[in-house]
A = this chain, B = another copy of it.
Amino acid sequence: MKDGIKICTIGGGSSYTPELMNGFIKRYDRLPIKEIWLVDVERGREKLEIVGALAQRMWDKAGLDVKVHLTLDRREALKDADFVTTQFRVGLLEARIKDERIPFSHGMLGQETNGAGGMFKALRTIPVILDIVEEMKELCPDAWLVNFTNPSGMVTESVIRYGKWNRCIGLCNVPIGAMLNEPELIGKTLDDLVYRFAGIDHFHWHRVFDAKTGAEVTDQIIDAMLDPDKGDGTPANIHNIPFAREQLDHLKMIPCGYHRYYYLQTDMLEDGLKEYEGIGTRAQQVKEVEDQLFELYRDPELAEMPELLSKRGGAHYSDVATESIAAIYNNANEHIVCSTLNNGAIPDLPADAVVQVSSYVGGAGAQPVAFGPMDTSARGYLQLMWNMQRLVEEAAVYGDYGALLEAVALNPQTPAGSEAKKCIDELLVAHAQYLPQFADKIAELKAAGVTPIDPVVQELLAKGL
């Protein structure tokens, strides 16, 4: 790797970009970047220009000689890149609105990484990232792909399995959130503790040990989490319903916030339906924050990340991303939780699965720590969910409707049956323009008159979105 690093960020027009710049600026002494290429699609051009200008102002204000390039030409951006980060959203926020509202309209959870919504985000994203990988093989074969496009686990697994591209790590901000919030619950700092995470993206657990004595303190953290007087570090975008104490006592691990969708499924669904019928789903809420953010970004005086961004959800994503890049660049072997090849780290899943585990990240990528066998309940659920992901990936790559039905049958968020079938049929129709691999099936569904029943979605479709 040459000294003047070239970063290529796909989906550069995202509202997250200032956080990413911030992360790079903070690590500039360890990570001597020369140029950053923000690339986006035509529909994102305006946002790209706004956020790109802010990005350049941020570097300038920091007094660092880094050039921010803006482009719609992905090949130009990839050429000779050292690191490629991916934060794009196929179909933009409108697609997310469909991912959320269509399932709710059938009485199922609408959420962009879990349930039918997450599946369809994967169906749209995986073919695009596989295209990117092919271009990387040609244009920057020594680059690392640092993915934080959701559903990060399925996208990363597809890159490695179908794209045959091992120079990839997948990131998620959930583990860092836990590590930042939990220690103080038991009167410790992060340095006092040893964290061990294992599972898959948005479906992992962790155990915690005292670094001085080596003794496990997982139960102490569980106690504190369930103490109504203390917070628990759940991500801002997940409703804060407490887990059942006896369940956690049996589990002997700390679930991630997203486990609420599974361990407290009906309560989370109820909450979600309330929003769906009331203030609108998360995407609709985020859209408002985003509009506000871009209003701020436009301000030519603004040269730093605005406070508001941290309320966007997804905080620390960029911290994890830039830290990972710095760890690879400096062969620092830092503890980072990321999606990488299992290789036995979780013996309950195949060695060639992509899992999200505590890893030491250095010059040869992520080295996953062997977590050891899981106990009954975690094992069974994890095996279900990983196989469910595999089915979605297979559906994404081959356009296999049967695989999609099987994924639905496995995913607890989409109780199988005729209602779930209606739901995914509507999603196929609603996302038609981003699902070329399902063209035949979609044509058949359209011919049969399938059309989303949700009025907001109908409106979007009417606008050609």
Interface residues of A (CB under 8 A from B): 1, 142, 144, 167, 191, 194, 196, 209-215, 244, 246-251, 262-269, 328, 331, 333, 335, 341-347, 351, 358, 360, 362-365, 367-373, 376-377, 379-381, 383-388, 390-391, 394, 400-403, 405-407, 409-410, 412, 415-421
A419 partner residues in chain B, CB cutoff 8 A: 266
CA distance A357 to B363 in the complex (A): 18
By CB atoms of chain B within 10 A, which of A1, A379, A416 has the most?
Answer: A416
Which residue of B has the minimal Cβ distance to A249? B402
A410 partner residues in chain B, CB cutoff 8 A: 377, 380-381, 384
- Nearest Cβ distance between residue A457 and chain B, in whole angstroms? 21
Which residue of B has the minimal Cβ distance to A407? B377
CA distance A415 to B246 in the complex (A): 17
- Nearest Cβ distance between residue A298 and chain B, in whole angstroms? 40
Which of B249, B265, B367 is A369 in contact with, Cβ under 8 Å?
A: B367
If A266-B418, A369-B369, A377-B387 touch, whether A211 touches B364 (CB-CB below 8 Å) is yes
Which of B210, B215, B266 is A420 in contact with, Cβ under 8 Å?
A: B266
Contact status B343-A370, CB under 8 Å: yes
Contact status B331-A333, CB under 8 Å: no
Which of B363, B372, B406 is A212 in contact with, Cβ under 8 Å?
A: B363
A363 partner residues in chain B, CB cutoff 8 A: 194, 209-214
If A331-B211, A387-B376 touch, whether A342 touches B360 (CB-CB below 8 Å) is no
If A402-B247, A410-B380, A415-B415 touch, whether A360 touches B369 (CB-CB below 8 Å) is yes
By CB atoms of chain B within 10 A, which of A263, A344, A360, A418 has the most?
Answer: A344
Contact status A265-B416, CB under 8 Å: yes
A418 partner residues in chain B, CB cutoff 8 A: 264, 266-267
Contact status B377-A409, CB under 8 Å: yes
Which residue of B has the minimal Cβ distance to A208? B364
Which of B250, B268, B394 is A417 in contact with, Cβ under 8 Å?
A: B268
Contact status B376-A390, CB under 8 Å: yes
CA distance A35 to B424 in the complex (A): 58
A266 partner residues in chain B, CB cutoff 8 A: 415-420
- Nearest Cβ distance between residue A205 and chain B, in whole angstroms? 12
Contact status A343-B333, CB under 8 Å: no
Which of B364, B390, B417 is A209 in contact with, Cβ under 8 Å?
A: B364
Contact status B381-A409, CB under 8 Å: yes
A367 partner residues in chain B, CB cutoff 8 A: 196, 358, 369-370
CA distance A167 to B380 in the complex (A): 28
Which of B251, B268, B364 is A214 in contact with, Cβ under 8 Å?
A: B364
Which residue of B has the minimal Cβ distance to A343? B372
Contact status B265-A415, CB under 8 Å: yes
If A214-B167, A343-B372, A372-B344 touch, whether A402 touches B246 (CB-CB below 8 Å) is yes
A213 partner residues in chain B, CB cutoff 8 A: 1, 142, 363
* Shortest Cβ-Cβ A-B pairs, 10 listed: A380-B387, A250-B402, A211-B363, A343-B372, A266-B417, A344-B347, A383-B383, A377-B406, A211-B331, A246-B402
